[in-house]
Each structure stands twice: as C-alpha cells, then as structure tokens.
C-alpha cells in the first residue's frame, strides 16, 4: 500500500478539504511551498491510499520543558534527569498561519514568549516501547510554537506550567507532517525562530537532552500514546525570557518558526480587545 511522504490537510479550489501527499518543486524541501498534492483516501492512521488524483490551488498534546541544554543554561536551571512533562489542551492547537489570540488575562504582566519546537506525531498505539524501537511509532514530524506567558507559567501558576501555556491557539503547528521515512534522523535538524523578520533562535535538535526515541520510550512507560498524539519536544536557547533585556511578544508581532526538512509556520500575535483583563 502506497503511503504518504509529506502529509498536509488543505482546502482545494473545489471548496473541499482533503488530506494529501504534498508535491514539491525540484530542490525544494519546505512543505509550505507545496501548490499541489496527491489526494489521500481512507484513514491516515490506518488503511489509506495515495491516489493519482492531483488537487491544486492549495491554501493551506504532550510537551517537554527544558529539553535543550543551552536553553536550560540560559534559564539558570539544572539539566533535568528526566523529561519535564506538561500538557496543553486540544483547544491550544491551531494552524500554520492562524493568528495567535491573546486574551485579556494574558495581556497584563510580563512574559509573552515564543518557543520553536520539533513536533512528533504518533502514528500507532504505543505503550512500554523500548527506545530501540521507538521511531517505529512515529507517523512524522512538524514544527510548532509553544507560545508561553512566563508570569502565568512561573509566578502565578502554583508550580504548574499548564496555565501559562494552554490558552486557545497557543500551539500552532504544521505546515504539514513530513513522514519519518523522509526524516531519518530527527536529532540533527536546524531549528529556529524569526520575530518580525529578525532571527532570535537558531540551533540544532542535536542539543536536545532527550532525543526523539528516548522521549517516546519514556512517555510510553505505563501510559498509552495514541495515533494522532502530538509531542512538542522543547525549545532551544534564544527565547525572550533568556535575553537581557527580555524580549516579549507584542500585539501585531509576526512569529515564524522553522525546522529543517519540514518548513516553517508564521503566526501573527493578536490581542483580543473584547476579553476582560484581570
């Protein structure tokens, strides 16, 4: 059965939404530049097939903290002995070009921050998986932005990170899902962030403390990972919190996060004036 290499979900010119295997121009690896795709029929996590039908005019949650050594150092925190896990609600998930909505509760205080991250998409049920076989359970990879509010994460969250990271739309990812058959070594990819066109993060996933296989193996111990589960794997150094002076996101800022072999997503920060402030 033929399967996809670069999975995207898109709106075609016929007005219908499809899953497809993106077609890229020769020499291009950025999935966001796809303008055509082979339509996929069936269950992308089960039985499916890549058809010969080509659609065009495309318009197109577990998280780890402190998983890059240099980021832990810039945060003045010790290197963790085990993965630092937190969760985002499904309502935090948004698309590769969606606005990042900032409700009134997150407009006050300091700390609206960006975090570029490699995102693992689980492809089949995984429980008690050994590290040696962990990559067999990966459907593919995407890039995401773990948007965070440091005051709510650190000062006001009672020791829990979820409140400062779980607002609606605060986990944009995409621009598609690149198959693990294409990305053989997820631990050697350039990853970075541009803020209003300026580079603010530039690193490599080789700086991850817990690589992809180790992360999946650890998180699956006694806990079932399901097809479609997302794992945001932490961010490298260069976040706004780690800068002197600190660099916080503002209303209207444009944030682009990118991952080698996958492409980039770009999202605008939009303060919601209709929601009350505390």
Q: What is the pLDDT of residues 107-155, one digit of tens each?
A: 987 799 999 999 999 999 999 999 999 999 999 999 999 999 999 998 8
- For position 198, what pLDDT does the model report? 98
Q: What is the pLDDT of residues 92-106, one digit of tens each?
A: 999 999 999 999 999
What pLDDT sits at residue 57? 54
Q: Give pLDDT, residue 1.
A: 47
- Per-residue model confidence as pLDDT tens digits over 175-220: 999 999 999 999 999 999 999 999 999 999 999 999 999 999 999 9
User: In the predicted model, what is the mean pLDDT of the chain?
Assistant: 91
Question: Where residue 11 falls among pLDDT bands split at 50, 70, 90?
Answer: low
CA torsion angle 254 169 217 1 (round to 10): -90
Question: Does the pLDDT value for residue 262 go beyond 60?
Answer: yes
The answer to whether residue 161 scores a pLDDT higher than 90 is no
Query: Residue 88: pLDDT above 90?
Result: yes
pTM of the model: 0.85
When comparing pLDDT for 239 and 40, which is higher? 239
Strand partners, 20: 8, 39
Residues 6+ apart with CB under 8 A from 143: 116, 117, 118, 119, 173, 174, 175, 191, 257, 258, 259, 262, 263, 264, 265
Structural contact between residues 175 and 32, judged by C-beta atoms closer than 8 angstroms:
yes
- Lowest average pLDDT, out of 54-58, 69-73, 265-269, goes to 54-58
* pLDDT exceeds cutoff 50 at 86: yes
> What is the Cα–Cα distance from 228 to 99, expressed in whole angstroms?
23
Q: What is the DSSP string of 47-61?
A: SEEEEEEEEES-B--
pLDDT of residue 199: 98
**Predicted pLDDT of residue 15:** 64
Q: Residues 6 or more apart from 22 whose CB is under 8 A from it? A: 5, 6, 7, 8, 31, 34, 36, 37, 176
- The two tokens of residue 250 are 């503002």
Residue 14: pLDDT band by 50, 70, 90 thresholds?
low
Please state, in angstroms and rounded to a whole number, the distance separating the CA atoms of residues 88 and 167. Answer: 8
**pLDDT over threshold 90, residue 17:** no
Q: Which domains can be identified in the chain, with CATH numbers?
A: 6-56 (no CATH), 62-271 (3.90.850.10)
Strands 263-271 and 138-145: unpaired
**pLDDT at residue 243 above 70?**
yes
């Amino acid at each position: 059965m033929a399967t996809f290499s670069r999975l995207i979900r898109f709106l075609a010119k016929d007005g219908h939404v499809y899953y497809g295997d993106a077609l890229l121009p020769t020499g291009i690896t950025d999935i966001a530049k796809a303008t055509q795709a082979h339509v996929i029929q069936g269950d992308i996590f089960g039985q499916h097939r890549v058809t010969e039908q080509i659609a065009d005019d495309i318009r197109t949650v577990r998280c780890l903290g402190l998983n890059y050594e240099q980021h832990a150092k810039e945060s003045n925190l010790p290197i963790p002995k085990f993965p630092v896990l937190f969760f985002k609600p499904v309502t935090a998930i948004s698309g590769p070009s969606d606005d990042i909505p900032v409700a009134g509760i997150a407009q006050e205080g300091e700390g609206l921050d960006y975090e570029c991250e490699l995102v693992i998409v689980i492809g089949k049920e995984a429980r008690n998986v050994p590290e040696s076989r962990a990559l067999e359970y990966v459907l593919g990879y995407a890039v995401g932005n773990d948007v965070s509010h440091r005051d709510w994460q650190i000062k006001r969250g009672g020791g829990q990170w979820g409140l400062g990271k779980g607002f609606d739309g605060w986990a944009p990812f995409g621009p598609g899902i690149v198959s693990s058959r294409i990305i053989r070594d997820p631990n050697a990819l350039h990853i970075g962030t541009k803020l209003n066109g300026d580079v603010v993060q530039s690193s490599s996933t080789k700086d991850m403390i817990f690589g992809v296989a180790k992360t999946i193996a650890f998180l699956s111990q006694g806990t079932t990972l399901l097809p479609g589960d997302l794992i945001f794997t932490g961010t490298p150094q260069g976040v706004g919190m780690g800068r002197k002076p600190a660099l916080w996101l503002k209303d209207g800022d444009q944030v682009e996060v990118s991952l080698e072999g996958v492409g980039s997503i770009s999202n605008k920060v939009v303060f919601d004036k209709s929601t009350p402030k505390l």
